Amino acid sequence: MTNEEFLSRVPIFENCTTAEIASIASVAQEHTYVPGQIIVTQGTPGQAFYLITNGRVAIERDGAVLGAFATGDFFGDMSLLDSAPRSATIRAIEETRCLMLSSWDFKALLENTPSIAIRLLEVLSRRLRVADERLAR
């Protein structure tokens, strides 16, 4: 599967056109992590979004393993827009390849291709409405 195909399956990019996905892919970087390697650390500023293209990672909070992500999963999506502290540590369980999109590259991309921002806002608004409905129940 190509990087563009992976990115097009990420819910926050679901409304993007093929050309917009290609623009996002052009600034994404591929990284490989060995078992046990920490990818992001709880409490540090979020500065990047990760999409797992192959492998598995553990989700850890305060030293406890909460679960795992695998191929096709992603984390750090809100870091594209803010640099709030990470809520968990993510550690490779096995050799893992990720596409990484830094917040500064993504923000520069939005300045050059504002249509991506509009599509992103549509998805984020929908997700916020769903979360709000869940809280209301």
pLDDT number for residue 50: 92
Sign of CA dihedral 74, 77, 79, 85: negative
Find out whether 99 and 30 touch, Cβ atoms under 8 Å. Answer: yes
pLDDT number for residue 94: 97
Domains, the chain, ordered by start: 3-136 (2.60.120.10)
pLDDT number for residue 57: 97
Burial 37-60 (b: 16+ CB within 10 A, else e): eebbebeeebebbbbbbebbbbbb
Find out whether 83 and 103 touch, Cβ atoms under 8 Å. Answer: yes
Largest Cα separation within the chain, whole Å, is 42
pLDDT tens sequence for the chain (137 residues)? 789 988 888 887 888 899 999 999 999 999 999 999 999 999 998 899 899 999 999 999 998 999 999 998 888 877 777 888 888 999 999 999 999 999 899 889 888 888 888 877 887 788 778 878 888 88
Residue 10, helix vs strand vs coil: coil
Helix (H) or strand (E) holding 7: helix 3-8
Task: Output the pTM of the full model.
Answer: 0.83
